[in-house]
Structure 1
Amino acid sequence: MKKLIAMLLLSIVVLAACGTGTSKEDKSSSKSDDKVLIMGTSADYKPFEYIDSAKSEEIIGFDIDLANALGEKLGYEIKVQDFEFSGLIQALKSGKVDLVLSGMSPTPDRKKNVDFSDIYYTAKDLVVTSKDSNIKSVEDLKGKTIGVQLGSIQAEAAEEIAKTVDVKVEKRDKIPELIQEIKAGRFDGAIIEDVVAKGYLSKDNKLASFDAAEANEDAGSAIAFPKDSELTDKFNAELKKMKENGELDKLIVKWFGN
């Protein structure tokens, strides 16, 4: 009996050791997850990020291509998640995403909460209106209602305009909502980044535009990271190389045609 018990105990020890070995292997193999980065974006900002629903439900655009190019150079797989633009900073702070590419400008308020890469693209703002509105300048907005995307740098620009022109500023979550409000006559205009606005202007001859007064020195798009993230310097180094070797210019031509 003692011999039988001893053999049973030995079997248990051997099986336990085998189980421990398997566990360690599983744990080490899971380290591949360290090379996956979750990128937050707001997929309503063509051509930066959008969904061409006629073809697929995949998010595509300039920012997506840029993120994938940088990720490949650094050995990361980029997985994209769609958020409301106004919720992107909080998603980054709460750890839901590792970085944000969404045509986001590095404003002083945002810099209090997250870190930014160098600027990768600079554009200007347009005021989009109905062609029959006879609104052709910022001064013509007096007594009017203008729309902006919630949480955007254009919202800040509108507030600056409102300091000198008596204009009512309304905010919406997505760019298409601003265009619909103009068409419905509820907004007299909307401030939208030029490369995004041109997409709507080219498809609708009832819309018109003019340059908005540049009210913010922080115009330009950058990648957002959590505070003190080691990713900031890594992405900056590769972004600099892409600027120097012409890869970034090729993406700009692909998506913006300039």
Structure 2
Amino acid sequence: MKKFVAMFFALAMIISIMAGCSSASSSGTNKKLVIGVDDQFAPMGFRDDKNELAGFDIDYARAAGEKMGYEVVFQPIDWNAKESELSSGRIDLIWNGYTITDKRKRQVLFTKPYLKNAQVVVTLEKANISKLDDLTGKNIGLQSSSSAEKALDGNPIKSKIKNVSKYKDNVIALSDLKIGRTDAVVIDEVVARYYMSKEKDTFKILDESLAPEEYGVGVKKGNEKLLNELQKALDEINKDGTAAKISKKWFGEDKVLK
């Protein structure tokens, strides 16, 4: 019996230690901030040629974490389950081109917007598609559970589209567009312009956008302490020029909202 009790308390202590090291904490010398990302969302967060995480949000998060005194740990997640990952405590933040919407505001806490974006329609440069009405009877691709899906659902053109294919990430969606499996892709403008810069004369963006939007960082409901701590850090790196430097690295200009 004594042996059983000793083993029970030893196990409880191990679990307690592991729990204390897995997420953001306001005490201790090795504070960690676990950030959930979509690692196929260039230029916000993606795998570079060395298979290492890179991008605007990756650099921006690291700068904020350093300001806060946290070790930043990036955790690639299934974007379909991002809110569940946050509410369960497996991650501390959702930070990777995360669009602020009214629905998401009911699920998570948001920082102030830090970047403007829009949902746009991308087609092949050679395609005979120049306006939204040209999507009538066409096959459209988009990332599942993304704001692109919401933007398309809210536009009258949705009822005229032949079919909507949903993909795990934008890379696959654009790949299918290139080989002709779809006629167009609804996607974040910042992502579209990144790929257009990498593949010249392959894609084009329609002049008509579906929906303007803004990016923010998602924090678990009830954790106002972390939200306020993070916002303070963001305000500081926005003010001291760090954010502008990161923006110019990835976008060629300062696009960060002050």
Please state how far the C-alpha of 1:116 moved relative to its aligned partner: 0.8
State the alpha-carbon separation in 2 of the partners of residues 75 and 241 from structure 1.
13
The aligned residue for residue 191 of structure 2 is 196
Identical columns (%): 31
Instruction: Map 1:14-53 to 2 at 5 A.
Output: 32=28, 35-52=31-48
Retained in 1: the 8 A contact 2:40–2:46? yes
Give the superposition deviation at 1:34. 6.0
Whole-angstrom distance in 2 between the partners of 1:137 and 1:165? 16
SS at match of 2:90: coil
What is the rounded CA distance, in whole Å, between the counterparts of 1:211 and 1:193 in structure 2?
A: 14
Q: How does 1:1-258 map to 2 (within 5 A)?
A: 32=28, 35-52=31-48, 54=49, 56-162=50-156, 166-167=160-161, 168-204=163-199, 205-215=201-211, 219-229=213-223, 230-258=225-253
- SS of alignment partner, residue 37 of structure 1: strand
Aligned equivalents of 1:95 and 1:185: distance in 2?
41
Cα drift, residue 135 of structure 1:
0.5
Superposed CA offset, 1:60-96 (max 9, x none): 1111111111111111110001112222111101111
Q: Note if contact 2:119-2:188 (Cα within 8 Å) is conserved in structure 1.
A: yes
- What is the SS of the residue equivalent to 1:169? strand
Contact preservation (8 Å) 1:125, 1:212: no
CA, structure 1 residues 161+36, in 2 after alignment: closer, same or farther (shift >3 Å)? same
Which has the larger share of helix?
1
Runs of 4+ residues deviating >6 angstroms: none
User: Which is greater in Rg?
Assistant: 1
Q: CA deviation at 1:208?
A: 1.9
Cα offset for 1:190?
Answer: 0.5
Q: Do the aligned residues in 1 keep the contact of 2:152 with 2:158 (CA within 8 Å)?
A: no
The whole-number CA distance in structure 2 between the counterparts of 1:202 and 1:69 is 26
Unaligned runs of 5+ in 1: 1-22
* In 2, Cα distance between equivalents of 1:84 and 1:249: 30
Q: Does the residue aligned with 2:82 lie in a helix, a strand or coil?
A: helix
Contact 2:135 2:157 in 1 (8 A): no
Inter-partner Cα distance in structure 2 for 1:235 and 1:137: 41
Supply the AA of the counterpart residue of 1:138: L
C-alpha separation between the residues in 1 aligned to 2:241 and 2:33?
A: 25
Structure 2: distance between partners of 1:79 and 1:220: 24
| Pairwise CA RMSD | 2.4
Moved more, 194-203 or 66-75: 194-203
Are 2:139 and 2:164, in contact at CA under 8 Å, matched by a contact in 1? yes
What are the Cα deviations for residues 89-112 of structure 1, in whole angstroms up to 9, with x where unaligned?
111011110111110011111111
Check conservation: 1:125, 1:194, Cα contact below 8 A: yes
